[in-house]
């Protein structure tokens, strides 16, 4: 993910800005930052999650799942993130560019995005009062982190690492087999402890 040397923008300026390419950007402290393209497994896993959650929420309007979901940083006019997926039970309004009152936010991790998703986005997502659960889902091997809000200041992190595990989203009443998230994806081995060490 690389930052480009543009002047600091407000959120309104960013949302109306066009650099003339197909590049997708996030706004971080007023600076447009190019998003790394997603490929292969990342796309499939994100699609699987959207289908599994969306099929349940279809019976529970107005709850719905959004892809490339616009997420606003609380109390900021110079930050706008795009999550892979988000769930809200607030009805969509015409012309809406962000996800109102997100309950669940999902980021599918890949080598090019994981550091940014963990270091920059995760703390912001935790600061959004409506967010109850955050999923960090590895795209190249089976590994799901479920961050659950316990109260205003505490979170619990559950790890799902077996195909037989069940992903439970209490905020929207969804249960999904972890194996379904990885349907049609050829997974690689989990990195060794040596490879994960800094």
Q: What is the pLDDT of residues 118-177, one digit of tens each?
A: 999 999 999 999 999 999 999 999 999 999 999 998 999 999 999 999 999 999 999 999
Measured CA to CA, the distance from residue 187 to residue 143 in angstroms comes to: 11
68 has pLDDT over 80: yes
Distances from the Cα of 154 to the Cα of 128, 148, 189, angstroms:
13, 9, 32
Task: Work out the average pLDDT over 38-53.
Answer: 95
CATH numbers and ranges of domains, the chain = 38-187 (3.90.1570.10)
Question: Residue 145: its pLDDT value, please?
Answer: 98
Q: What is the pTM of this model?
A: 0.90
């Amino acid at each position: 993910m690389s930052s480009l040397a543009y002047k600091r923008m407000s959120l309104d300026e960013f949302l109306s800005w066009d650099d003339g390419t197909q590049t997708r950007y996030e706004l971080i402290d007023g600076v447009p930052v190019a998003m790394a393209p997603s490929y292969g497994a990342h796309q499939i896993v994100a699609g699987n999650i959207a289908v599994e959650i969306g099929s349940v929420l279809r019976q529970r309007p107005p709850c719905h799942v959004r892809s490339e979901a616009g997420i606003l940083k609380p109390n900021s006019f110079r930050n706008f993130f795009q999550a892979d997926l988000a769930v809200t039970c607030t009805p969509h309004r015409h012309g809406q560019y962000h996800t109102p009152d997100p309950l669940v936010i999902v980021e599918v991790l890949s080598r090019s995005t994981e550091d940014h998703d963990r270091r920059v986005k995760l703390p912001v997502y935790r600061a959004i009062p409506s967010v109850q659960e955050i999923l960090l889902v590895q795209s190249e091997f089976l590994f799901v982190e479920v961050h659950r809000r316990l109260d205003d200041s505490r979170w619990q992190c559950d790890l799902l690492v077996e195909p037989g595990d069940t992903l439970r989203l209490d905020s929207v009443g969804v249960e999904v087999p972890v194996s379904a998230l990885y349907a049609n994806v050829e997974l690689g081995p989990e990195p060794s402890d040596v490879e994960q060490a800094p």
